[in-house]
Structure 1
Amino acid sequence: MSSTMSITGLAPRATDPADDLGAQPVIERAHRLVPELAERAAECDAEDRFVAANYALLKQAGLVEAGVPRELGGAGADVRELAAMLRVLAHGCSSTALAFSMHTHQVAVPAWRWRHQKVAAAEPLLRRIAAERIIVLSSGGSDWIGGSGEAVRVEGGYRVTGRKVFSSGSPAGDILMTGAVVHEPEGDAVIHFGASMKAPEVRVLDNWRALGMRGTGSNDVVLDGLFVADAAVAFKRKAGEWHPVFQIIATIAFPLVYAVYLGVAERARDLAIGIAGRRPPGEDVLHLAGRMDTALRAARLAHEWMISAVERNAPSAETVNEVMIGRTLVAEHAIRTVELAMELAGGAAFQRGVGLERLFRDVQGARYHPLQAGPQARYAGAMALGLDVSRIF
């Protein structure tokens, strides 16, 4: 048994490649893609190139619609299965897995609302994802609780301008799920809507040059006077304050995003063990390997905690707290795992060709998603003391 299979517990069962695709669990489909994803990961990283070819593979494998309920034409995967899928994909290409996690959570959230809240308005989008395999983008941290961009009231709707940063997967996107701030006498509000990436008022910049996750295509997307009809507004909320829909988003999305960083840490661990295994097992090697596996176990336990919060099927301020505590712990321990993997592998880890150096850079992205360390600690502290958390983000 390989080290990857033994430590992750995510090995696929044997299947015939000719098996019907729809009958294969999504994790098996993900495993089949890992070798090809890995082949081009270093090249995309070195050239700051979006992993476009990998999106074609994801579509062919039926993973774009993985989270769509079976009744609506998808694979019906729940959040636990989707997280496992993303974790496996990260063993092949961190950037592909992270960019795809943004689409995946934009599918998982309306799927959850369709099933558990009977939100019929989610059905057309979900059916379209299943039938057309469209890619749905998240506008990332730029559209967090505070909102960004500006929506000006015009006849029949709004005229929207804004710049949406960290829009992962933007070169492959069909719909950008985003929002804009409306300045009103009673206070700022945020409208939420889907923007067609084919609209002439929507433009993707080529400006993603980053330390790690270089193939995610997380460019800025500019909205320049986009008209959004009243009927196209999904919901409206107060700016700078948690809304029940954002409690759903935060609870469901972040276990998926952080599954990627867990997968990056697992891949780094496996590479380091492979390198260290070729040397005599001295005491320092044993010590580093043990500390590395301990850190990785902590990351896994924290991620399982995040998944358990989702599986309560009751998103709330409390589940946001549980998920965000898990998010901080996964980040800390995934980063520490990769640091220790670098030390365990020794000087070889400094060479780009080995792959650890890239994983070390990629895992640093775990620091930057909401809730970052400061707001997360304040949120948890306020919850512990029974104080209001509605404006902590």
Structure 2
Amino acid sequence: MLELAETTQNPGDGPSIVELTNSILPILAQRAGSIDESDTFVGANYALLKDTGLVRAGVPTELGGLGAEVPELCEMLKSIARVCGSTALAFSMHTHQVAIPAWRWRNQKVTAVEPLLRRVASEQIILLSSGGSDWIGGSGTATKVDGGYRITARKRFTSGAAAGNVLMTGAVLEDESGARSVLHFGVPMASPEVSIEDTWRTLGMRGTGSNDVMIENLFVPDGSVAFSRTAGQWHPVFQIIGTIAFPLIYAVYLGVAESARDIAVEMVRGKSASDHVIGLVGRMETSLRAAQIAHRWMLEVVGRNEPSAETINEVMIGRSLVARHSIEVTELAMEVAGGAAFYRSNGLERCFRDIQGARYHPMQPGPQSHYAGSFALGLSIENIF
């Protein structure tokens, strides 16, 4: 399962997304072990992603990109994750920050996103996401000044920070009455008011470089604020973000689970397997299929092109199922392989550590269950996140 299956072709005479992705997998696979062992950021792999043009994969062809939509981008990320989870997860943050404005350009005719998408296509800039530290509640502070705002914030879990050009983020503005709103804007990573604090020493996904980004008194002009929303409450733009981003992010964890399954099966194939091991393999296959079906459901929801409170509910149910069953796959893979799974050289224990990250993205099981239950009962969900 090392290669991405041929599905769709890019328009024109150039290589397909499939061919471009497959061309870099051997190099990513070769580097993955040493990156993990040394806590090295996957920065060198970004050069490959740029050289192949995959950085602009999600930009519409009319704006200079490769025109891939969410299902094909998921296959790209899943394929990369099978050989290097850290590269896939870090790149998924750029990928969803491109896919969201691309979706708005295609489906809502929002022309304001064109300059950003054209920059991704022509300059191959890397977009960063602060979603892990922001989400619906927001973080950081915005203070109103003449002509704009002064921003101070710590943005945790900023995957790929060292490779990024623009951080897509926000900050909380509190008015005289105590009402809190979140302003959204892009932050140039080269600004002198922006720095990276090296905090990423973790159990898994060690190469993502998901360090803290520090913003100290950065001036953001009024005209650079993309939109404002009430803090701690769902907004239509976040319904778009949630619907599109999470199938892409969880494609990564599905790819890690598929890799764990393949490694475990290869380790016991051709050997005399006990009924116990055969049963474990069967349970592993069943859990993997459950994760794959759940992810396919997420993509079906995206395909409706109607982000809403309902699609958030369905996508987040899918997110919980993909996480639960992908974690179970790697646990069963460790049992299938037996004591040999404990050795780093087999790559299975890295899958086991990397998959743990699936637990921590929004919406985690508690809020997700609360949201799903409230939605089913016709109760308010606007403050559940």
Q: What TM-score bracket applies, with the shorter chain setting the length?
A: over 0.9
Residue number in structure 2 paired with 1:179: 170
Q: Secondary structure at the match of 2:276?
A: helix
After superposition, the CA RMSD in angstroms is 1.5
Report whether the alignment pairs 1:119 with 2:113.
Answer: no
Residue number in structure 1 paired with 2:158: 167
> For residues 70 and 103 of structure 1, do their structure 2 counterparts lie closer, same or farther at Cα, with a shift above 3 Å needed?
same
Amino acid at match of 1:377: S
> Partners in 2 of 1:332 and 1:21 — Cα distance?
40
Aligned pairs, number: 383
Residue number in structure 1 paired with 2:46: 55
Q: Is the 8 A contact 1:109 1:252 kept in 2?
A: yes
Residue number in structure 2 paired with 1:141: 132
Residue number in structure 1 paired with 2:358: 366
| Deviation (angstroms), 1:26 | 1.4
| Deviation (angstroms), 1:279 | 1.6
Which runs of 5 or more residues in structure 2 are unaligned?
A: none
> For residues 287 and 253 of structure 1, do their structure 2 counterparts lie closer, same or farther at Cα, with a shift above 3 Å needed?
same
Cα deviations across residues 9-59 of structure 1 (Å, max 9, x unaligned)?
x4248x9xxx99963221221122111101111111111110011000001
Q: 2:327 aligns with which of 326, 335, 341?
A: 335
> Partners in 2 of 1:348 and 1:33 — Cα distance?
28
Q: Secondary structure at the match of 1:97?
A: helix
> Partners in 2 of 1:148 and 1:21 — Cα distance?
43
Report whether the alignment pairs 1:239 with 2:212.
Answer: no
Q: Secondary structure at the match of 2:125?
A: coil
> Partners in 1 of 2:38 and 2:266 — Cα distance?
27
> Partners in 2 of 1:73 and 1:135 — Cα distance?
15
Q: 1:11 aligns with which of 5, 23, 27?
A: 5
Residue number in structure 1 paired with 2:120: 129
> Partners in 1 of 2:373 and 2:349 — Cα distance?
36
> Partners in 2 of 1:336 and 1:21 — Cα distance?
42
> For residues 298 and 62 of structure 1, do their structure 2 counterparts lie closer, same or farther at Cα, with a shift above 3 Å needed?
same
Residue number in structure 1 paired with 2:282: 290
> Partners in 1 of 2:22 and 2:121 — Cα distance?
21
> Partners in 1 of 2:40 and 2:240 — Cα distance?
33
| Deviation (angstroms), 1:139 | 0.7
Residue number in structure 2 paired with 1:317: 309
Q: Secondary structure at the match of 1:203?
A: strand
Normalised by the length of structure 1, the TM-score is 0.95
> Partners in 2 of 1:253 and 1:284 — Cα distance?
39
Q: Secondary structure at the match of 1:224?
A: strand
| Deviation (angstroms), 1:140 | 2.5
Q: 2:339 aligns with which of 338, 341, 347?
A: 347
Q: Secondary structure at the match of 1:143?
A: coil
Residue number in structure 1 paired with 2:18: 27
Residue number in structure 2 paired with 1:110: 101
Residue number in structure 1 paired with 2:58: 67
Cα deviations across residues 221-279 of structure 1 (Å, max 9, x unaligned)?
00000000000000001000000000000000000000000000000111001101142
> Partners in 1 of 2:22 and 2:261 — Cα distance?
18
Q: Secondary structure at the match of 2:218?
A: strand
Amino acid at match of 1:156: G
Amino acid at match of 2:46: Y
Amino acid at match of 1:373: P
Residue number in structure 2 paired with 1:198: 190
Task: Between 111-120 and 19-28, report the one with greater CA deviation.
Answer: 19-28
Residue number in structure 2 paired with 1:272: 264
Give identity over the alignment, percent. 62
Report whether the alignment pairs 1:77 with 2:71.
Answer: no
> Partners in 1 of 2:161 and 2:246 — Cα distance?
19
| Deviation (angstroms), 1:185 | 3.0
Cα deviations across residues 315-337 of structure 1 (Å, max 9, x unaligned)?
00000000000000000000000
Cα deviations across residues 176-209 of structure 1 (Å, max 9, x unaligned)?
0000000113410000000000000000111101
Amino acid at match of 2:189: M
| Deviation (angstroms), 1:284 | 1.4
| Deviation (angstroms), 1:102 | 0.3
> Partners in 2 of 1:173 and 1:388 — Cα distance?
37
> Partners in 1 of 2:13 and 2:282 — Cα distance?
40
> Partners in 2 of 1:25 and 1:306 — Cα distance?
24
Amino acid at match of 1:153: K
Q: Is the 8 A contact 1:375 1:392 kept in 2?
A: yes
Which runs of 5 or more residues in structure 1 are unaligned?
A: none
> Partners in 2 of 1:22 and 1:111 — Cα distance?
22
Amino acid at match of 1:222: M
Q: Secondary structure at the match of 1:43?
A: helix
Report whether the alignment pairs 1:385 with 2:377.
Answer: yes
Amino acid at match of 1:209: R
> Partners in 2 of 1:20 and 1:193 — Cα distance?
32
Cα deviations across residues 122-155 of structure 1 (Å, max 9, x unaligned)?
0000000000000000012211100000000000
